[in-house]
Chains A and B, each alone.
Chain A
Amino acid sequence: MSKVAEQTINSFLSFKLDRETFGVNVNKVIEILEVPHITKIPKSPAFMRGVINLRGTVLPVVDARLKFGLKEIADSVNTCIIVFNIQVAKEQVMVGALVDAVQEVFDMDESQLMPPPSIGGKFRTDFIRGMARNEDDFVMMLDVDKIFASEEIINLQQEVEAVKA
């Protein structure tokens, strides 16, 4: 897996959170799961939903909604877990992210990515790599490494607004 991580892959997986569409490079994605029984871990932050059994390994699951400061909603039939392979402190770590719905895999050249506007320090746009237009939808490209390395709740709404502005 680590071999291909170095390559540049121009495929992206898009998913929904609230009303926004986000995208991540598929090389960060291991797979997509339906939501199984999640074991809660006591005394952990709310956005850490708990752990699941991913074919013999224990996979931590982050509720992306809560992580991004959105309000909590009940899991629906479309709710999925995207298993990411992220790099934290030079280590490859697997983490599941609970998202509202997964949409599709689409190809796009990195060069088509519109860089996030650098607005003078008011909002950090660290977590968004850029913005892309897929068909007639705007897709925010997320930097999952940074997102999951951060232990705080990210106010994504602000970021999204900042990017859109």
Chain B
Amino acid sequence: MIEHLKQKYLEEAHDLLLELEKTLLLLEENPADSEGVEVAFRVMHTLKGSSGMFGYQQVSELVHLLENGYDTIRTNKQAVPLSLLELSLESVDHIRLLLTEDTTNTPATEGAHRLLLKRAAELLYEMPAPEDERAMPAAPAGKSLRTWAIFFAPQQDMLKNGSNPLYLLEELAGFGGFRSFSCTGQLPPLTELDVQQCYLSWMLLLATEAPEGDIRDVFMFVEELCQLQLEPLGEGDLLADLKEEQLTALADKIALALDKESFAAYVRELKTTTAQVKPVVSPETAQETTAQLASGVKEKSVTSIRVASDKLDDLMNLVSELVANQERLSLLAELSMMPELAGVAEEIEKITRQLRDKTFDICLVPIGSLLTRFKRLVRDLSQELGKNIAFEAEGMDTELDKNVIDSLSDCLVHILRNCIDHGLEAEAERIAKGKNPQGTILLKAFNSGTNVVIEIKDDGRGISSEKVRNKAVEKGLIRPDQVLTEKESLELILMPGFSTAQSITSVSGRGVGLDVVKKKIKELRGEVSIASKVGQGATITIALPLTISIIDGLLVRVADTDYVLPLSFVEKSYSVTPADLLNTKNNQLILDGEPVIYFNLAEAFSAGSLSNNAFGVVIHTGTMRMALLVDEIIGEYQAVLKPLGKFYQEQDFLSGGSLMGDGTVALVLDPQKLIQEITKNRTIDI
């Protein structure tokens, strides 16, 4: 059990280290980010506590020192000194080393550890004194104080698992005002007492600014080993308001008996007494609270829970497999001619569909979840660069797969940086040009067909295609005589090794960035395009396929391979005989009296000939209508999309694979890319 918990601790610690690292990197970019400091502090605190608990004393002491540093900064609302950040990053690396068992006690690490401790101590000593309430505009106003009643009843064998409830109580005491009432009613006579058992339970009163999540985090490692209940008593520090007699009376009562019901009763009692004492919440605080709720993008809903993303991935996979198997079941039910089975299969199909949709829903994250990050970025950058920029967002409730969102955020950051750095003029320049002194960046997201489109639009100086072109020639990216459309010219800036900025600033201009964006978007199967008008601004458009990992498709067979055509593209299916193909002209087939360009998949994909009773599936994308000739149409199919991976990036006309019920893999076609591929080949043929 200890091993199990230790493992859990290690995982947690690694995650925390990752988070810390990320935060530190962010802080390095924006050392004044108090939120980052908060995060860093909180992470360190958690890490310190758990490390101590599991006997990683070295980690614990190092983190403790650093935590103190951040605590100082936090309380002083200071910007983090770069030296501290550097030390923190080194410490992160060191802690990782410490956490890998076998290397803990080597003299080298021992030395490094001592050195780090020394440096940390020195740094703390040199820590600048708290400055005045300097302008830190984003610094949040004092958080609302809240009093909680906590019912904590550890299981009797909790001690055996290496958890010490007292540590937890101590930690809670660190959150703010704290009173604990223990129930000793369960204690057996001394003769029968087992020292390894925990017979006590507590009712705790805590007045703190920390949100509920943080309080719960304290109990994270013992969650399964105890009964825990959190009940808000009211706003403000009610502890101070309570009279000592009342508390002792309560303590007496609690000492005798404490369980869920009595806890609820005590809470009710306390609530009434506190209400008597302080019947109304002060109006400012209330105002503050509501204002905060309104302005903040719903960062965390009260009812939501955090789920590890890989659990979601697992869920998604399971649902995928369920869908695949359900498809198979439906097929079998259809074949079996058993009405009962068909009914059951239908029911299961319905449920599966619901489950699938719900799971999708879970996995979909609104793009707005990234917004704060962008806002801060814009704010920080504009301050750094001394530009006056308004950041607007539209369609932030457009949802995307969480994995896409993760990848996308970096890209958008890159683009925003570029906009701010190169696109928008300085205030003076704008005035000179007769523009609104405040520059505007518009982030707009919307659904368009099967795509999600994200536009980043600025009203800056725009991009000169001529300039881009010259630059590209200069850099040897294109030949001087190469003829390019304006769009093509503009999109040269997405090529690797391109940077038009004359001077390299700290923000951008390293010539890496946009090409990385393009690469990333391509990995997400999306497209980047640029439009610009000199003097009026530029628009970068990212079109991403709705990465729905389960699509309703038409299952067809070409040679011995199954393909899935997304149903949203399929218009109609026809039977096609070899005779029909004999008299075709210009690759056109007459279907329903209309000529349709056709494409023989069997020929192109398997170098085989079409079967005698083939089918033509007419697909249409926004721009084209085309008949794909396949050997067999098997039927509708819910395809669970799986990426084909790095090795098949070239075959981008396939959006992925789908696992069939019989364990084989069907290939999901991307009609748009397929048509691109076909037309590309066609022109080459000509």
Contacts and interface: CB of A to CB of B under 8 A. Distances in A.
Interface residues of B, number: 30
B659 A60 contact: no
Main secondary structure of the interface of B (DSSP, over half): mixed
A91 B646 CA distance: 10
Nearest to A6: B100
Interface of B: 100, 317, 320-321, 561-562, 604-606, 642-648, 650-651, 653-654, 656-657, 659-660, 662-667
B663 A53 contact: yes
Interface of A: 3, 36-37, 39-44, 48, 50-53, 56-60, 62, 88, 91, 93-95
Contacts of B646: 60, 88, 91, 93
Given A56-B659, A57-B642, A58-B643, A39 B648 contact: no
Which of A44, A62, A88, A94 has most B Cβ within 10 Å?
A44
A41 B650 CA distance: 11
B680 to A, nearest CB: 12
A44 B650 CA distance: 8
Contact of B665 (A3, A52, A95): A52
Contacts, number: 77
A58 B659 contact: yes
A41 B642 contact: no
B631 to A, nearest CB: 14
A55 to B, nearest CB: 9
B686 to A, nearest CB: 20
Contact of B651 (A41, A59, A62, A95): A41
A53 B665 contact: yes
Contact of B647 (A3, A37, A48): A48
A20 to B, nearest CB: 24
Main secondary structure of the interface of A (DSSP, over half): strand
Contact of A58 (B321, B604, B645, B653): B645
Contacts of A3: 100
Contacts of B651: 41-44
Contacts of B666: 39
Given A41-B654, A42-B604, A42-B605, A58 B665 contact: yes
Given A42-B606, A44-B650, A88-B646, A53 B561 contact: no
20 contacts: A36-B663, A37-B662, A39-B657, A41-B651, A41-B667, A43-B605, A43-B653, A51-B644, A51-B648, A51-B657, A53-B659, A56-B659, A57-B317, A58-B643, A58-B645, A58-B665, A60-B647, A60-B648, A88-B646, A93-B647
B446 to A, nearest CB: 31
Which of A43, A51, A95 has most B Cβ within 10 Å?
A51
A42 B665 CA distance: 13
B664 A39 contact: yes
Nearest to B650: A44
Contact of A60 (B644, B660, B664): B644
Nearest to B681: A43
B473 to A, nearest CB: 30
Contacts of A36: 663-664
Contacts of B100: 3
A58 B647 contact: no
Contacts of B648: 41, 44, 48, 51, 60
Given A44-B648, A44-B651, A91-B646, A53 B605 contact: no
A77 B605 CA distance: 28
A51 B647 CA distance: 10
A83 B669 CA distance: 26
Contacts of B605: 42-43
A25 to B, nearest CB: 19
A99 B642 CA distance: 25
A119 B561 CA distance: 45
A37 B657 CA distance: 14
Nearest to A62: B647
A46 B562 CA distance: 19
Given A43-B650, A57-B317, A57-B642, 20 more contacts: A37-B662, A37-B663, A39-B562, A40-B561, A41-B648, A42-B561, A42-B604, A43-B651, A51-B644, A51-B648, A53-B659, A53-B664, A56-B320, A56-B321, A58-B643, A58-B645, A58-B665, A60-B644, A62-B647, A93-B646
A48 B646 CA distance: 12
Given A44-B648, A51-B644, A58-B642, A39 B667 contact: yes
